[in-house]
């Protein structure tokens, strides 16, 4: 049985349409349950676009084994909608594949996600399956482990997420600030090559309201690893000022997707 897809959407009909069509090109889609979490309006004018998104979901339900739409009457925000939605699915399933309405996936995305979830289900050091990766020059069917978590198409298991939920402080930036020393912050930033700790500070200062950086911090704190493709299986089409936390354009997203069906899993579970 394939893992269900948690699909998160709000007020972007065209983005939703493109994302669903991409998912539907995966041969596993017709045997996969899609649970769509449709966020509620921030203001009355949002209702028209939300209704259009719901219609697009229904019109494309034939691409999947089943469709369930979970509508919120209030605006939860992307961060809370995702936390609640993933938690709801993992209360009934042992794993979940997560896609947002601005993510395009390769035609082998679901194959990669399901095989990875099955292979590493009992490897407790592996916490997360990345669908996305930065553009790299490498063999496109190679995969490796890294501490870094990406949230542009991903998957995880019930037991890992339950540990995340069991810590009531882990989504508090003040708590994260207290348990991460200078060296840990540097390592979180890939030895100063990344810029991830700044998201904790931005959440603390209420400049942004995001969820993924806290999941990444928890995985890192638990010394967990994330499986990553050398060549990305996903890309973000929401870097057009249409979303809540993504804007602008960047060469990190200008790439051809990985459509190679073969998967060379790493020989060892260690960071590479």
* pLDDT given for residue 260 in this prediction: 87
Count helices and strands in the chain by DSSP H and E runs: 9, 10
Compute CA distances 132 → 26, 104, 109, 129, 267, whole Å. Answer: 16, 10, 10, 9, 21
pLDDT tens sequence across 47-68: 999 999 999 999 999 999 999 9
| pTM, full prediction | 0.94
CA–CA gap between residue 32 and residue 2 (Å, rounded):
6
Q: Are 154 and 131 in contact (CB under 8 A)?
A: yes
CA–CA gap between residue 103 and residue 226 (Å, rounded):
19
Q: Write b or e for each residue in 200-212: b if 16 or more Cβ atoms lie within 10 A of its Cβ, otherwise e.
A: bebbeeeeeebbb
CA–CA gap between residue 96 and residue 215 (Å, rounded):
15
Q: Pinpoint the alpha helices (H) of the chain.
A: 13-24, 46-59, 78-89, 109-119, 158-166, 173-179, 182-188, 197-204, 212-221
Strands 234-236 and 154-157: unpaired
* pLDDT given for residue 242 in this prediction: 58
Region of 203 please: left (phi>0), alpha (psi -120 to 50) or beta: alpha
User: Quick one: CA dihedral 50, 22, 243, 207, positive or negative?
Assistant: positive
pLDDT tens sequence across 193-215: 889 999 999 999 999 999 999 99
Secondary structure (3-state) at 55:
helix
Q: Are 65 and 1 in contact (CB under 8 A)?
A: no
Strands 33-38 and 66-71: parallel
Q: Give me the residues of the chain with pLDDT under 70, please.
A: 136-141, 240-254
Nearest to residue 2, comparing CAs of 69, 87, 97?
97
* pLDDT given for residue 264 in this prediction: 92
CA–CA gap between residue 256 and residue 233 (Å, rounded):
9
**How many CB atoms lie under 10 A from the CB of residue 174?**
10
């Amino acid at each position: 049985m394939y893992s269900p897809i948690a699909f998160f959407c709000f007020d972007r009909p065209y983005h939703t349409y493109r994302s669903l069509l991409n998912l539907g090109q995966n041969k596993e889609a017709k045997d996969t349950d899609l649970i769509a979490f449709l966020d509620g309006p921030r203001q009355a004018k949002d209702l028209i676009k939300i209704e259009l998104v719901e219609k697009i979901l229904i019109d494309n339900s034939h691409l999947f084994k089943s469709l369930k739409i979970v509508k919120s009457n209030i605006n939860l925000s992307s961060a809370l909608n995702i936390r609640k939605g993933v938690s709801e699915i993992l209360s009934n399933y042992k794993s979940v594949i997560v896609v947002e309405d601005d993510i395009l996936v390769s035609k082998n995305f679901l194959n990669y996600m399901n095989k990875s979830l099955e292979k590493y289900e009992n490897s407790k050091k592996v916490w997360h399956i990345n669908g996305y990766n930065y553009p790299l020059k490498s063999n496109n069917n190679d995969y490796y482990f890294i501490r870094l978590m990406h949230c542009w198409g991903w998957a995880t298991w019930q037991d890992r997420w339950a540990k995340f939920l069991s810590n009531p402080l882990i989504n508090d930036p003040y708590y994260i600030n207290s348990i991460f020393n200078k060296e840990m912050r540097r390592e979180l930033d890939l030895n100063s090559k990344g810029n991830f700790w700044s998201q904790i500070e931005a959440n603390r200062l209420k400049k942004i309201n995001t969820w993924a950086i806290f999941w990444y911090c928890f995985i890192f704190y638990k010394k967990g690893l994330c499986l990553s493709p050398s060549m990305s299986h996903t890309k973000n089409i929401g870097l057009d000022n249409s979303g809540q936390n993504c804007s602008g354009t960047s060469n990190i997203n200008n790439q051809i997707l990985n459509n190679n069906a073969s998967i060379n899993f790493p020989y060892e579970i260690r960071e590479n």
